Amino acid sequence: AQSVSQHNHHVILSEAASLELGCNYSYGGTVNLFWYVQYPGQHLQLLLKYFSGDPLVKGIKGFEAEFIKSKFSFNLRKPSVQWSDTAEYFCAVKDSNDYKLSFGAGTTVTVRA
Amino acid sequence: EPEVTQTPSHQVTQMGQEVILRCVPISNHLYFYWYRQILGQKVEFLVSFYNNEISEKSEIFDDQFSVERPDGSNFTLKIRSTKLEDSAMYFCASSPNGYGYTFGSGTRLTVV
């Protein structure tokens, strides 16, 4: 199974700052990549996903992610965060021939007004 | 938008007791999953279920755990004899095709 690394445990930033969260997975092959967000007290929600095609993926709420196959990376970005982006963000990877998602440890993002 | 529903949202149980966590997946989905997240740790895969049988399970999913889809709508996770270390948030997920997942809001299990 994939091992997924998220580089930052906790990120604190001010509104309107740019956000980038790193995600790397352990080995190549055909993978499906996901970013989920978990707002306080709520369920995991899909922000965006990559299966194939354009490696720059746009998701909901102004988020985007870039798949760089050579670096086994799928970093999440948002140019200008809002207070409502305060949440925990999880990167997840699925091998195309597997049933399960492997999750990273998550990054807590705190946006200060 | 269709949702995956989990009940209860929070369950407290005594060590050694059996618990059943319930999930109602999205109605036309065919693949069902349980994941858990111990406080401060990663979300971990427990089991996947397809065509009325377990398709994959993790090392965590030992003989104390079982899953059922008893009536075609509910998908349950049973823990026979709970241990303190079973305390976690348990997430159910479903998928129409094994690729896109919808997660429920989770059941927080506290074993005391």
- pLDDT tens column, A29-41: 889 999 999 998 7
Torsion sign over Cα A81, A85, A90, A92 = negative
* pLDDT above 70 as % of chain B: 100
Binary contact (A46, B101; C-beta < 8 A): yes
Question: What percentage of chain B exceeds 90 in pLDDT?
Answer: 81
Residue with the bigger pLDDT between B32 and A41: it is B32
Question: Tokens 């809001």 — which residue?
Answer: B105
Between positions 6 and 65 of A, the ones with CB within 8 A of B are 32, 34, 36, 42-46, 49, 51
Averaged pLDDT for residues B87-111: 92
Summarize pLDDT for B51-92 with one digit per residue, the tens.
Answer: 999 999 999 999 999 999 988 789 999 999 999 999 999 999
Residue B32 has pLDDT above 90, yes or no: yes
Contact B101, B94 (CB under 8 A): yes
pLDDT of residue B75: 96
* Helix, coil or strand: residue A70: helix
Residues in chain A closer than 8 A to B1 (CB atoms): none
Does pLDDT of A110 surpass 90?
A: yes
Contacts of B99 in chain A (CB under 8 A): 32, 51, 94
Asked if pLDDT for residue A89 goes beyond 80, the answer is yes
Dist. CA A51–CA B55, nearest whole Å: 22
Chain B residues lying within 8 Å of A10, measured CB to CB? none
Query: What is the rounded distance in angstroms from the CA atom of residue A78 to the CA atom of residue B25?
Result: 31
Name the token pair of B23. 């999930």
pLDDT, greater one: A56 or B1: A56
Using the beta-carbon criterion (under 8 Å), do B55 and A99 form an inter-chain contact?
Answer: yes
Q: Are strands B88-95 and B102-103 parallel, antiparallel or unpaired?
A: antiparallel
